[in-house]
A and B are shown apart, each in its own frame.
Chain A
Amino acid sequence: MTIEQQIQTPAPSTPAWAMLRTLGGIAMLSGLLVVLVYQFTLPIIAENQRRMTEKAVFHVLDGAVAKRDFVLTAEDALVPAGEGAEGVHLYAGYDDDGALVGVAFPGAARGYQDVIQFLFGYDPACQCVIGSKVLKSTETPGLGDKISTDAEYLKNFEALDARLDATGTALANPIVPVKHGTKTQPWQVDAISGATITSNAMARAVNDAAQRVVPVLQRELALLSEPNRSEGR
């Protein structure tokens, strides 16, 4: 450890080896304890995390009972997760018969206090967003946190139009927030009055993420809709 040498200024009364012995002993003891606990809790934590992701995915994809993980790499390629690829994690959800329900994708945008993280559900059949969940938010309780409780507002994300344009590389109509009560088109998000910045952030998050993810999903539909059989997760 590097601290030992830096922290103490040796005093004449105690021999240096005694101090080194102590610090070394304590460092070893602490290392041992931490490693033991880490090894013991690792599988439990992984299981917790898996269950939490699963819960969120099934929340945004109504009817899904199983999921498969994919990774969207920086080069816009879609590969199954677990093969060392790095990038945005996407979760394809399947129903009882193993048919594709939709794909959950993450989004993030700066809200009123700090960055808010979301998970959205996309249904390739209707080419629309069918669900949303706030994963992490520090928005004002009672105002900004309505984005996860206000039923009327959440209806926005139950059939939000995300059709692709003719080129297939961008949304035909960017998802935009509009002032409360002025929604006329299926790609508009009716903001909550009193929490405009937060609702705008959510609309921006879904638009930014969908603009990138949806073209790939539509292109890779064959890979995604392979019936989900053995993996069972």
Chain B
Amino acid sequence: MAELPNQQESLSLDTFVRGLWEENPVFVMLLGMCPVLAVTNTTVNAIAMGLATTFVLVCSSLLVSLLRNWIPKQVRIASYIVIIATFVTIVDYAIQAISLELYAALGAFIQLIVANCVILGRAEAYASKQRLHTTLINSLGMGAGFTLALLSLGTVREVLGSGTILGIPLFGADFQPWVVMILPPGGFFVLGAWLLLFNWLRLRKERRLQAAAAESAYAR
């Protein structure tokens, strides 16, 4: 891990928005892919998973930030993991208390939030260096970005794979669902398609910039 200069970020809108778009944990940083692919076969699952992950992300980031001057460098990873596992256990019981059906649908992936690299990555790269309020906003942004990514996958897969959204049928009775989309391969395909779209947007922007630069050079 590269040593970043230990300067504290000042709070700005960018602290929040960055997680949504520029540094979107899923689409840009390609982190935490396992739950992204596994539980996005319906929109409801995607939202629940996104919220659960955001809760763990925000709580553990806050605690890490709070304790940042108190945790020796040598044991920081162990400390972070224990902190994260604590909050995941809490979420695990909370979801069981809210709805057992939801718990069954998400299965082991609730507990697997522990191994989500987004959370450990945030703790290590951001929360351990920044003050409490910037950490709060930044982790909220990251969580929102993660939820957004889950949602964009879940919606596409549910609409194509079962012809419903949030369980409400969208098409007539004649609709033949594209079942493969809610099966494992569909997860890979839809995420791949989203990445293709983002690549295309990025390339187009680059081309525009180049064209603009060339034009201004020509005009001179």
Instruction: Tell me the A residues contacting B by CB distance below 8 Å.
Output: 3-4, 7-11, 14, 18-19, 22-23, 26-27, 29-30, 33-34, 37-38, 41, 44-45, 48-49, 52, 136, 140-143
Contacts and interface: CB of A to CB of B under 8 A. Distances in A.
Interface of B: 67, 70-75, 77-79, 82-83, 85-86, 89-90, 93-94, 96-97, 99-101, 104, 161-162, 177, 179, 182-183
Given A22-B79, A23-B79, 5 more contacts: A8-B74, A19-B75, A136-B104, A140-B179, A141-B162
A41 B94 contact: yes
A48 B100 contact: yes
Nearest to A7: B78
Which 3 residue pairs are nearest across A and B when measured between Cβ atoms?
Answer: A30-B86, A44-B97, A14-B72
B86 A34 contact: yes
Contact of A41 (B73, B79, B83, B97): B97
B71 A34 contact: no
Chain A CB within 10 Å, residue with most, of B72, B79, B90: B72
Given A8-B75, A30-B85, A48 B70 contact: no
B183 A41 contact: no
A44 B96 CA distance: 8
A141 B86 CA distance: 35
Contact of A22 (B71, B85, B104, B183): B71
29 contacts: A3-B78, A7-B75, A7-B77, A7-B78, A8-B74, A8-B78, A11-B74, A14-B74, A22-B67, A22-B79, A23-B79, A26-B71, A26-B83, A30-B85, A30-B86, A33-B90, A34-B89, A37-B90, A41-B93, A44-B97, A45-B97, A48-B96, A48-B99, A140-B179, A141-B161, A141-B162, A141-B183, A142-B177, A142-B179
A26 B85 CA distance: 11
B37 to A, nearest CB: 15
A117 to B, nearest CB: 11
Nearest to B76: A22
Contacts of B90: 33-34, 37
A45 B98 CA distance: 8
Contacts of A136: 104
A136 B108 CA distance: 14
Nearest to A33: B86
Nearest to A29: B86
Contacts of B79: 22-23, 26
Contact of B74 (A19, A26, A29, A41): A19
A141 B161 CA distance: 9
A141 B85 CA distance: 33
Contacts of A34: 86, 89-90
A138 to B, nearest CB: 9
Given A27-B82, A30-B82, A52 B74 contact: no
A172 B4 CA distance: 76
Given A37-B94, A44-B97, A9 B74 contact: yes
Contact of B93 (A9, A30, A37, A143): A37
A23 B72 CA distance: 9
B72 A18 contact: yes
A4 B77 CA distance: 11
A74 B63 CA distance: 49
Give the most central of A30, A48, A52: most B CB within 10 Å.
Answer: A30
